[in-house]
Structure 1
Amino acid sequence: MVTKQKLARWFSAVLLASTVLVAEGAYTGPDSGGGYRAPVSGDGTTTVAAILKNPHDDMRVVLKGNLVRKIKHETYMFNDGTGEITADIDDNDFPPQPVNANTKVEIIGEVDVNRISGVEIDVKSLRIISP
């Protein structure tokens, strides 16, 4: 007969084993410690320059470029060739493959306009376009 204590130990072991198997990608590049739509190109993307020129809080954006450096935990500098903007990316939104400053990515998110921290992108999805 299985006791509650044995069942609890078995469940804990299974739970621990399953969490060890989960692979999580990470940024490996340089480390330095409403209804408005942004102007978009034919493929649905916009540019950092367009966002910074006329930022609107909560506007949905799609950007293609590179995470050029890590600023702090879950905060990165994103560059699309037209400018740079801060991107807030949760660790669990990274793909399993490593991402560095040379990795071309697509980010989908919302513009966050804050008087103190400025304009940044709250990233909801990150996808590798080319390694």
Structure 2
Amino acid sequence: MSPLSKKSRLFFIGALLAGATAAPAYAQYTGPTEGGRAQNTVAAILANPTDDQQITMQGQLLRKIGKEKYIFSDGTAEIVAEIDDDDFPREPVDEKTKVEIHGEVDTGLRRPPEIEVDSIRVVK
């Protein structure tokens, strides 16, 4: 074997290894994690609010109370949910529509905790 073919072989192996380690991962873990998007209830959040706590909940938007502010209920209690107009699903949503929200708890010194909603979808 000539030295040139050895170098070529090493280069090829090195290129393969570099490409394999640089490839992005497409699968991701979506199960529960400590401190991650845990299932919660509105009552539990109101009883022990933790700022920036990630949440996932299902329930209804009972009414609009201001610009991008809604009352959300999961059946255990009610909480203010801040939802950007751009984040609403294309389907119409009313007080009877079951939705799933993902977001985080936002605590304030002079107001009750709220949910800053990152995404919302209609549950069918």
Instruction: Specify every segment of 5 or more residues in structure 1 that has no aligned partner in the other structure, as ranges.
Output: 1-35
**1:62 paired to 2:56:** yes
Displaced runs of 4 or more, over 2 A? none
Instruction: Specify every segment of 5 or more residues in structure 2 that has no aligned partner in the other structure, as ranges.
Output: 1-33
Q: Measure, in 1, the Cα distance between the counterparts of 2:40 and 2:54.
A: 10
Q: CA offset at residue 37 of structure 1? A: 3.4
Q: Measure, in 1, the Cα distance between the counterparts of 2:69 and 2:35.
A: 24
**1:111 paired to 2:105:** yes
**Contact between 1:37 and 1:61, CA under 8 Å: does it hold in 2?**
no
| Structure 2 counterpart of 1:97, from 76, 87, 91 | 91
Q: Which residue of 2 aligns with 1:28?
A: none
CA RMSD of aligned residues (A): 2.0
| Identical positions, percent | 51
Q: Measure, in 1, the Cα distance between the counterparts of 2:86 and 2:40.
A: 24
Structure 2 length-normalised TM:
0.69
Deviations 1:78-105 (A, max 9, x none): 0000000000000000011110000000
**Contact between 1:79 and 1:85, CA under 8 Å: does it hold in 2?**
yes
Q: Measure, in 1, the Cα distance between the counterparts of 2:35 and 2:120.
A: 19
